[in-house]
């Protein structure tokens, strides 16, 4: 029996020696020499040295009863789970829960660059795990998809992904609005941009691209990017003329905003409507709009005409805001009211309004244009003693009490004064009223009592003859 037991023990010892799994060579010492005292103790395991390589190894990996927790690169390196085959699972994963087949350490001692594959192996591929290498391949990060060429076309970039992938090696930590790339703007290109961070032309160009039609310029208030033809600010090229389109994009279209371009295209102005051909016919011109559109220098079309259909270069306003000290002239009246027939294109004699006389009320009236009662009344007014009637010759207006011509009422008797005003006082002119006051005559009429004196004399003579005979 004793002999049998000895044989059994010897057999088991032999099997144990045959089945023992020798660990792979590793370095326990930073000097790359095997000093077994530098190696950690694993329960049931013992370290040996390999003189030829100056490296250490576990004599029998299967003898280890309690692996270290968490697992380490040293343990996985000497006793990888796949030691019997490839032996590639020689690094501890990041959590220390398993030995994995990464190309290099998953920990701080890693000396080579990261790849998506190693990050996935080291950290796992569950959502939220740091399973991708960042753009510089210096660490593993947890974006929604790969930072590199393995990224799916359908995976849109986000600010978070860009920041994870590119920070801190690159400033391209924000996604452009299309989500097709990361850009180096000063703040987010999207809704998460702080309201205190004003947009600039640079950020707009970075975020939206600089192709024609892109919103590559910041508006005047810096609140958004707009697709103007050039910058809205100081960097706008002097050769870039402003247009209504650019002005409205840059300054907005709310009331009071500089939404329209002046006619020269040199600036945007806060008119009520366009200064150009696109101005709606329903938007009448005002002095304010004309002044804004055309400037207020002398000779500029800074006032609206009376009908509000155009701006004109009158010397003062055509409307109610005209100063009382600015007398109307024929020129201003023609400019303000037009020169078509029956328009109030002439200044009255007092210069306080424009009238629709047939010709000028002043010295520029052609000699061939005879005056009429209508013109006289328009030019001089119809108040008492105004020269509102034309004289008989039609060459001037006079202050007669009624018309000098056929339109004189029959009930209005002639007076010497009216006859003189109407016909003049040159010799032979009908400057006197006839005795019936129905017309004018050229001679002085006899006194109204001369006829009565003659009658008295004749009657007296007849009485005398009758008395004596």
Q: What is the DSSP string of 169-190?
A: T-S--EE-TTSSSEE--SS-SS
Q: Is 106 found in the same domain as 55?
A: yes
Model confidence at 134, in pLDDT bands (50, 70, 90)? very high
> Which pLDDT does position 333 carry in this prediction?
98
> Which pLDDT does position 19 carry in this prediction?
52
Instruction: Establish if 418 belongs to a structural domain.
Output: yes
Instruction: Establish if 211 belongs to a structural domain.
Output: no
292 pLDDT above the threshold of 60: yes
Stretch 176-198: mean pLDDT: 97
> Which pLDDT does position 33 carry in this prediction?
77
Q: Is 67 found in the same domain as 132?
A: no
Stretch 334-346: mean pLDDT: 97
pLDDT tens digits for range 367-424: 999 999 999 999 999 999 999 999 999 999 999 999 999 999 999 999 999 999 999 9
Model confidence at 13, in pLDDT bands (50, 70, 90)? very low
The 3-state DSSP class for residue 158 equals coil
Residue closest to 190 by CA, chosen among 163, 170, 169, 212: 163
Q: Is 158 found in the same domain as 95?
A: no
Q: Is 97 found in the same domain as 82?
A: yes
Q: Is 64 found in the same domain as 120?
A: no
CA distance 363 to 302: 28
Q: What percent of the chain has pLDDT over 90?
A: 86
Nearest 5°: phi and psi at 114? -90, 150
Residue closest to 419 by CA, chosen among 389, 453, 449: 389
Model confidence at 14, in pLDDT bands (50, 70, 90)? very low
Model confidence at 449, in pLDDT bands (50, 70, 90)? low
Model confidence at 30, in pLDDT bands (50, 70, 90)? confident
CA distance 20 to 422: 150
Model confidence at 87, in pLDDT bands (50, 70, 90)? confident
Instruction: Establish if 171 belongs to a structural domain.
Output: yes
> Which pLDDT does position 15 carry in this prediction?
36
> Which pLDDT does position 460 carry in this prediction?
53
> Which pLDDT does position 448 carry in this prediction?
64
Stretch 429-452: mean pLDDT: 86
Number of structural domains found in the chain: 3
16 pLDDT above the threshold of 70: no
Q: Is 117 found in the same domain as 103?
A: no
- Contact status, residue 91 vs residue 119, Cβ threshold 8 Å: no
pLDDT tens digits for range 308-318: 999 999 999 99
Residue closest to 293 by CA, chosen among 281, 279, 306: 279
Residue closest to 260 by CA, chosen among 292, 283, 288, 230: 292
Instruction: Establish if 137 belongs to a structural domain.
Output: yes
Q: Is 124 found in the same domain as 101?
A: no
Our CA angle for 160, 164, 170, nearest 5°, is 110
Q: Is 193 found in the same domain as 119?
A: yes
Model confidence at 321, in pLDDT bands (50, 70, 90)? very high
Instruction: Establish if 189 belongs to a structural domain.
Output: yes
Q: Is 170 found in the same domain as 117?
A: yes
27-36, 135-144, 340-349: which has the minimum mean pLDDT?
Answer: 27-36
- Contact status, residue 140 vs residue 133, Cβ threshold 8 Å: yes
Stretch 204-216: mean pLDDT: 98
Stretch 226-254: mean pLDDT: 98
Stretch 344-364: mean pLDDT: 98
Model confidence at 9, in pLDDT bands (50, 70, 90)? very low
Instruction: Establish if 169 belongs to a structural domain.
Output: yes
Q: Is 171 found in the same domain as 153?
A: yes
CA distance 380 to 388: 6
Q: Look at residues 173, 197, 221 and tell me which one is the last residue of a structural domain.
A: 197
Q: Is 26 found in the same domain as 92?
A: yes
Instruction: Establish if 102 belongs to a structural domain.
Output: yes
464 pLDDT above the threshold of 80: no
> In whole numbers, what is the pLDDT of the chain averaged over residues?
92
What is the C-alpha end-to-end distance of the chain, expressed in Å?
226
18 pLDDT above the threshold of 50: no
252 pLDDT above the threshold of 80: yes
Domain that holds residue 81: 22-110
43-57, 230-244, 394-408: which has the minimum mean pLDDT?
Answer: 43-57
Model confidence at 187, in pLDDT bands (50, 70, 90)? very high
450 pLDDT above the threshold of 90: no
Q: Look at residues 177, 197, 217 and tell me which one is the last residue of a structural domain.
A: 197
Q: Look at residues 83, 110, 137 and tell me which one is the last residue of a structural domain.
A: 110
Instruction: Establish if 17 belongs to a structural domain.
Output: no
Q: Is 148 found in the same domain as 102?
A: no
């Amino acid at each position: 029996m004793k002999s049998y037991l000895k044989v059994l023990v010897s057999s088991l010892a032999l099997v144990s020696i045959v089945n023992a799994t020798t660990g792979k060579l590793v370095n326990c010492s930073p000097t790359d020499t095997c000093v077994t005292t530098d190696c950690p103790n694993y329960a049931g395991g013992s370290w040996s040295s390999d003189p030829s390589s100056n490296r250490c190894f576990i004599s029998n990996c299967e003898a280890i009863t309690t692996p270290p927790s968490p697992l380490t690169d040293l343990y996985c390196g000497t006793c990888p789970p796949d030691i019997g085959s490839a032996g590639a699972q020689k690094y501890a994963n990041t959590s220390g829960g398993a030995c994995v087949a990464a190309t290099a350490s998953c920990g701080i001692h890693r000396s080579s660059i990261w790849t998506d594959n190693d990050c996935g192996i080291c950290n796992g591929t569950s959502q939220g795990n740091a399973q991708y290498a960042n753009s510089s391949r210096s660490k593993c990060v947890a974006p929604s998809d790969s930072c590199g060429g393995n990224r799916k076309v359908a995976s849109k970039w986000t600010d978070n992904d860009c920041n994870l992938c590119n920070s801190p090696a690159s400033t391209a930590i924000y996604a452009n609005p299309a989500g097709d790339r990361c850009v180096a703007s000063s703040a987010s290109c999207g809704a998460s941009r702080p309201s205190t961070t004003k947009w600039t032309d640079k950020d707009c160009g970075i975020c939206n691209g600089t192709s024609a039609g892109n919103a590559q310029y910041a508006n005047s208030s810096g609140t958004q990017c707009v697709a103007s033809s050039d910058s809205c600010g100081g960097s706008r090229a002097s050769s870039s003329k402003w247009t209504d389109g650019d002005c409205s994009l840059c300054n907005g279209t709310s009331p009071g905003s500089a939404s329209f371009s002046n006619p020269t295209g040199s600036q945007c102005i806060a008119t009520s409507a366009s200064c150009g051909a696109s101005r709606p016919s329903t938007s009448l011109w005002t002095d304010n709009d004309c002044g804004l559109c055309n400037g207020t220098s002398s000779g500029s079309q800074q006032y609206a005409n009376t009908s509000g259909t155009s701006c004109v270069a009158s010397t003062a306003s055509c409307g109610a805001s005209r100063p009382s000290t600015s007398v109307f002239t024929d020129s201003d009246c023609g400019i303000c009211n037009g020169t078509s027939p029956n328009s109030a294109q002439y200044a009255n004699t007092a210069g306080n309004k424009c009238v629709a006389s047939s010709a000028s009320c002043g010295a520029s009236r052609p000699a061939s244009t005879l005056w009429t009662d209508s013109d006289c009344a328009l030019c001089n007014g119809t108040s008492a003693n105004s020269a509102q009637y034309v004289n008989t010759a039609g060459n001037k207006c006079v202050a007669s009490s009624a018309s000098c011509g056929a339109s004189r009422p029959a009930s209005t008797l002639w007076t010497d004064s009216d006859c003189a005003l109407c016909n003049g006082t040159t010799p032979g002119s009908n400057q006197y009223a006839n005795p019936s006051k129905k017309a004018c005559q050229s001679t002085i009429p006899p006194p109204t009592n001369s006829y009565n004196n003659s009658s008295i004399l004749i009657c007296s003579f007849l009485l005398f003859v009758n008395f004596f005979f």
